[in-house]
């Protein structure tokens, strides 16, 4: 009982902390030094590199960078801070978390008032659209997008009698159906699984390639009616039925181990996943290459920089955004760290086109990934997008684990989404 | 001339005053001593508890609006299969971890209490090592042991000619996996509690029993268990309450699916469900309602425990 009280106490203390002050009440202990600002980022995206570059160019500026944790942990910390705690001056928000914050735009500085409306045109319009409210307030500026590609093991492809050259491999799978045929051939030749899994490597890619996802153009939920969602779901079931995957759920221990051991030959990899492959399977350096994603284009991921309303030093934070997220700034960050720029003007820059990655057989990742985001059709991402997406994904994982019958999967998925949208 | 009565009165008056004065201070002093605890308890215990009840009546967005919805969160909860699933998982994991754990602790304590045990302190201390190991580290190691394709447990099953078992994907498998982690962590702790009270049992009892020809099992059954009865009740109560609030193990053991402990929520406990709703999805009102439900469940279980304890006490020889 005492523990129940403690648990309740912890919960409510958190609620209290987050409800103590109302949003918008500004702290009067503002920093006297207008060159200092606080910056919250998440891990794995290496904002420190950018901060160091900026500090070098502006030695008088002091930036307190905190890597809060994973993307969702950072969003949680930001929520708590916005509701009543000490807010940072600048915060990085992952694309999937952004719609939640877009519902309460009063918590953020409208960047248009600081000059963002003049810079809007620098960015991919469908990326920019996601951080602009219906009445035109700019909540965040995009820092990167997650273009799509398929990475594959050249040594394993060779052993299976498949081509290994990235141009030829890309030509093997203009569509997902062609991709499945390649998978069947691979399994026939080697007796080993071809792809890591279907929920992430097929469904999450295909569903992001449509012209509409879980919401329609009127910003109403349409995941249960949109034929594109159903088609992506059915495609995943079809690939599963063909038995060409290792059924290793992305990010699980088995997935990491299998990747290092070469127990599957292909993984769908948005640009930010290259880093995960490098760190999870360091022993496979040079054995991978990058081909285009079946279907040609698509985006999954990306982040935004925003300034909370109660920030002490919004001006210094804005100066940082303006300089580091300019087309030149994003290009420099890409060359250093690999996150894909959101500014199409640099997509033809010779430095970007010349960028290769030795871990992936010197594939020109700049060109491959920017090509994949050029043909994209914009769609509205709503506040429940993350919830809907994860329930559909989880149901497909259950199918892979043999816990849900494939013919019942779609109905199960819809029930799961409906349950998740309550409360 | 003053009457004796007056003298008595005048002399007594200041004395009585002083006594009354002291009496008030004496009566207040204990309250003053315990005040800090209760002050903190009201601020961090009682008030938040009541506030949770209050939040549970709202549709509460931490950075947006709060709408009063009455008992709607609770009627949602009653019809939410995820809540009942979490309830099933919580009780199943509790049963799978607590019962074997306490039985094993009993046996271990009996063995560690043996007269002829060499290096007794070394063994007694080493049972506590899992308890002082970080939960996160234990969880990660166990999750790898139970892995479907590359786990040591399945490698062993494979050697014996069995099919691999996908522990994390199935309900029973994931429950067994998490129960093992909990038992691993708490068996040593409970062993030490049992051992401590076993050492208060007079050696003569065992010696006399041995002289009368009682073997190890008979000694265990007729001396060890009866003398441990009060501490056994205590450990059952504490592990029950702890078991209803298991959080870290299901959070880290099966990261597939985010905060759901698996794609089908196969091992999501009530506290993890509360966390998912409150801090994963920011439905504070609904999360608080789960908290209230958990509170009620713990009160009911505590009441059942209380009844059992009084009965066992009255049955004591």
Contact B245 A1 (CB under 8 A): no
Q: According to the 3-state scheme, what is the secondary structure of chain A?
A: CHHHHHHHHHHHHHHHHHHCCCCCCCCCCCCCCCCEEEEEECCCCCHHHHHHHHHHHCCCCEEEEEECCCHHHHHHHHHHHHHCCCCCCEEEEECCCHHHHHCCHHHECCHHHHCHHHHHHHCCHHHHHCCECCCCCECEEEEEEEECCEEEEHHHHHHCCCCCCHHHHHHHCCCHHHHHHHHHHHHHHHCCCCECCCHHHHHHHHHCCCCCCCECCCCCECCCCCHHHHHHHHHHHHHHHCCCECCCCCCCHHHHHHHHHCCCCEEECCCCHHHHHHHHCHHHCCCEEEECCCCCCCEEEEEEEECECCCCCHHHHHHHHHHHCCHHHHHHHHHHHCCECCCHHHCCCHHHHHCCEHHHCCECHHHHHHHHHHCCCCCCCCCCHHHHHHHHHHHHHHHHCCCCCHHHHHHHHHHHHHHHCCC
Which chain A residues are within 8 Å of B55, Cβ to Cβ? Answer: 12, 15
Which chain A residues are within 8 Å of B245, Cβ to Cβ? Answer: 3-4, 7
Rounded CA-CA distance A97/A298 in Å is 19
Contact B274 A11 (CB under 8 A): yes
Instruction: Determine the residue of chain B that is closest to A4 in CA distance.
Output: B295
pLDDT for the residue numbered B120? 82
| Per-residue pLDDT tens digits for A105-159 | 999 999 999 999 999 999 998 899 899 998 999 999 999 998 999 999 999 999 9
Calculate what percentage of chain A has a pLDDT beyond 90: 72
Establish whether domains A24-145+301-354 and A147-299+367-420 are of one fold.
yes
Which position has the token pair 């899992």?
Answer: B130
pLDDT for the residue numbered B20? 56
Least confident segment among A213-217, A360-364, B102-106, B118-122: B118-122
Interface of A with B in 66-125 (CB under 8 A): 72, 76, 79-80, 82-83, 100-101, 103-104, 107
Contact A7 B245 (CB under 8 A): yes
Q: Is the pLDDT of residue B154 over 80?
A: yes
pLDDT for the residue numbered B225? 84
Q: Is the pLDDT of residue B51 over 90?
A: yes
Average pLDDT over chain B, rounded to whole? 86
Rounded CA-CA distance A169/A154 in Å is 10
- A32-36, B19-23, B292-296: range with highest mean pLDDT: B292-296
Sorted by where each starts, the structural domains of chain B and their CATH numbers stand as 12-68 (no CATH), 78-315 (1.10.3720.10)
pLDDT band at B250 (very low <50, low <70, confident <90, very high): very high
Q: Cα dihedral sign for B131, B137, B139, B143?
A: negative
Which chain A residues are within 8 Å of B44, Cβ to Cβ? Answer: 9, 13
Give the pLDDT mean for A261-276.
92
The burial of A232, by beta-carbon neighbours within 10 Å (0-12 exposed, 13-18 middle, 19 or more buried), is given as buried
Q: Is the pLDDT of residue A364 over 60?
A: yes
One DSSP character per residue, B219-237 reads HIIIIIHHHHHHHHHHHHH
Contact B44 A13 (CB under 8 A): yes
Interface of A with B in 232-251 (CB under 8 A): 246, 248-249, 251
The 10 Å CB-count burial string (b at 16+, else e) for B192-215 is bbbbebbeeeeeeebeeeeeeebe
Q: Is the pLDDT of residue B71 over 70?
A: yes
Q: Is the pLDDT of residue B11 over 90?
A: no
pLDDT for the residue numbered B223? 86
Which chain B residues are within 8 Å of A4, Cβ to Cβ? Answer: 241, 245, 294-295, 298-299
Give the pLDDT mean for B198-210.
88
| Per-residue pLDDT tens digits for B165-203 | 999 999 999 999 999 999 999 999 999 999 999 888 888
Average pLDDT over chain A, rounded to whole? 89
Partner residue opposite A5 with nearest CB, options B49, B144, B274 = B49
Helix extents (H) in B42-151: 47-55, 72-78, 81-112, 120-126, 129-132, 135-145
Contact A254 B150 (CB under 8 A): yes
Q: Please give, rounded to a whole number of angstroms, the shortest distance from the CA of A5 to a CA of chain B.
A: 6
pLDDT for the residue numbered A423? 57
pLDDT for the residue numbered B4? 45
pLDDT for the residue numbered A190? 96
CB pairs under 8 A between A and B: 153
pLDDT for the residue numbered A14? 47
Q: Please give, rounded to a whole number of angstroms, the shortest distance from the CA of A334 to a CA of chain B.
A: 29
Q: Which of B149, B165, B283, B297 best probes binding to A when mutated, by most A CB atoms within 10 angstroms?
A: B149
Which chain B residues are within 8 Å of A403, Cβ to Cβ? Answer: 169-170, 263-264, 266
- Comparing CA positions, the residue from A253, A279, A255 lying closest to residue A267 is A255
pLDDT for the residue numbered B30? 86
Calculate what percentage of chain B has a pLDDT beyond 70: 91
What CATH number is given for A24-145+301-354 in this structure? 3.40.190.10
Q: Please give, rounded to a whole number of angstroms, the shortest distance from the CA of B298 to a CA of chain A.
A: 6
- If one compares B91 and B117, the residue with the highest pLDDT of the two is B91
| Residue A326 in contact with partner chain B when CB distance is under 8 A | no
Domain range list for chain A: 24-145+301-354, 147-299+367-420
Q: Is B173 helix (H, G, I), strand (E, B) or coil?
A: helix
Q: Which value does ipTM take for this structure?
A: 0.81
Q: Please give, rounded to a whole number of angstroms, the shortest distance from the CA of B304 to a CA of chain A.
A: 12
Give the pLDDT mean for B106-133.
87
CATH class of the domain whose range is A147-299+367-420: alpha beta
Question: Phi and psi (nearest 5°) for A299?
Answer: -135, 140
pTM for the structure as a whole:
0.84
Which chain B residues are within 8 Å of A394, Cβ to Cβ? Answer: 257, 260, 263-264
Q: Is the pLDDT of residue B247 over 50?
A: yes
| Per-residue pLDDT tens digits for A171-187 | 999 999 999 999 999 99
What kind and span of H or E run contains B68?
strand B66-68
Q: Is the pLDDT of residue A8 over 80?
A: no
């Amino acid at each position: 009982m005492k523990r129940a009280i403690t648990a309740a106490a912890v919960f409510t203390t958190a609620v209290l902390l987050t409800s103590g002050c109302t949003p918008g009440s500004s702290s009067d202990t503002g920093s006297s030094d207008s060159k200092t600002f606080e910056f919250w980022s998440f891990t794995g995206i290496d904002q420190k590199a950018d901060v160091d570059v900026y500090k070098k160019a502006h030695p008088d500026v002091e930036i307190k960078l905190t890597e809060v944790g994973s993307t969702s942990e950072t969003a949680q910390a930001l929520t708590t801070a916005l509701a009543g705690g000490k807010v940072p001056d600048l915060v990085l928000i992952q694309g999937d978390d952004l719609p939640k914050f877009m519902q309460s735009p009063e918590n953020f500085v409208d960047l248009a008032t600081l000059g963002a409306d003049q810079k809007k045109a620098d960015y991919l319009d469908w990326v920019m659209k996601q951080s602009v409210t219906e009445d035109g307030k700019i909540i965040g500026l995009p820092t990167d997008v997650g273009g799509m590609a398929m990475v594959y093991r050249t040594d394993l492809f060779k052993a299976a009698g498949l081509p290994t050259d990235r141009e030829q491999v890309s030509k093997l799978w203009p569509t997902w159906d062609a991709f499945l045929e390649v998978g069947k051939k691979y399994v026939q030749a080697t007796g080993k699984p071809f792809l890591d899994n279907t929920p992430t490597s097929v469904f999450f890619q295909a569903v992001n390639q449509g012209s509409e996802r879980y919401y329609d153009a009127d910003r109403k939920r349409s995941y249960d009616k949109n034929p594109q969602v159903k088609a992506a779901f059915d495609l995943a079931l079809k690939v599963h039925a063909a038995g060409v995957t290792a059924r290793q759920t992305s990010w699980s221990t088995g997935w990491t181990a299998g990747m290092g051991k070469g127990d599957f030959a292909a993984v769908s990899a948005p640009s930010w996943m290259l880093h995960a492959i490098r760190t999870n399977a360091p022993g496979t350096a040079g054995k991978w290459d990058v081909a285009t994603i079946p279907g040609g284009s698509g985006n999954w991921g990306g982040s935004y920089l925003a300034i909370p309303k109660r920030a002490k030093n919004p001006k210094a934070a804005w100066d940082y955004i303006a300089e580091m997220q300019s087309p030149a700034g994003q290009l420099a960050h890409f060359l250093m760290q690999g996150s894909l720029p959101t500014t199409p003007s640099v997509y033809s820059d010779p430095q970007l086109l010349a960028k290769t990655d030795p871990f992936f057989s010197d594939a020109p990742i700049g060109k491959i990934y920017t090509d994949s985001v050029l043909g994209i059709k914009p769609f509205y991402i709503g506040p429940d997008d993350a919830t809907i997406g994860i329930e559909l994904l989880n149901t497909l994982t259950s199918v892979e684990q043999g816990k849900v019958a494939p013919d019942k999967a779609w109905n199960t998925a819809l029930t799961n989404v409906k349950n998740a949208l309550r409360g | 001339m003053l009457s004796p009565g007056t003298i008595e009165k005048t002399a007594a008056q200041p004395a009585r005053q002083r006594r009354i004065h002291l009496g008030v201070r004496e009566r207040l002093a204990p309250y003053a001593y315990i005040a800090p605890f209760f002050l903190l308890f009201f601020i961090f215990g009682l008030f938040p508890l009541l506030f949770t009840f209050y939040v549970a009546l709202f549709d509460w967005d931490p950075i947006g609006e709060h709408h009063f919805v009455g008992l709607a969160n609770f009627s949602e909860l009653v019809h939410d299969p995820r809540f009942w699933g979490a309830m099933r998982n919580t009780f199943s994991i509790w049963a799978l971890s607590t019962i074997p754990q306490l039985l094993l602790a009993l046996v271990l304590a009996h063995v560690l209490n043996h007269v002829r045990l060499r290096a007794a302190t070394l063994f007694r201390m080493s049972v506590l090592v899992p308890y002082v190991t970080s939960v996160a580290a234990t969880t990660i190691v166990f999750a790898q042991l139970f892995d479907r394709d590359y786990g040591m447990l399945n490698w062993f099953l494979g050697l014996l000619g069995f099919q691999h078992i996908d522990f994390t994907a199935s309900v029973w498998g994931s429950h067994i996996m998490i129960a093992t982690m909990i038992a691993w962590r708490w068996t040593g702790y409970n062993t030490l509690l049992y051992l401590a009270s076993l050492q208060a049992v007079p050696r003569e009892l065992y010696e006399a029993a041995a002289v009368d020809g009682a073997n190890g099992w008979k000694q265990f059954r007729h001396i060890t268990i009866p003398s441990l009865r009060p501490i056994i009740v205590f450990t059952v109560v504490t592990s029950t309450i702890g078991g209803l609030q298991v959080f870290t193990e299901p959070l880290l053991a099966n990261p597939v699916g985010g905060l759901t402990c698996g794609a089908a929520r196969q091992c999501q406990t009530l506290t993890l469900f509360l966390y998912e709703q409150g801090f994963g999805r920011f439905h504070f009102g609904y999360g608080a309602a789960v908290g209230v439900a958990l509170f009620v469940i713990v009160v009911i279980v505590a009441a059942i425990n209380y009844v059992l304890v009084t009965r066992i006490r009255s049955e004591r020889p």
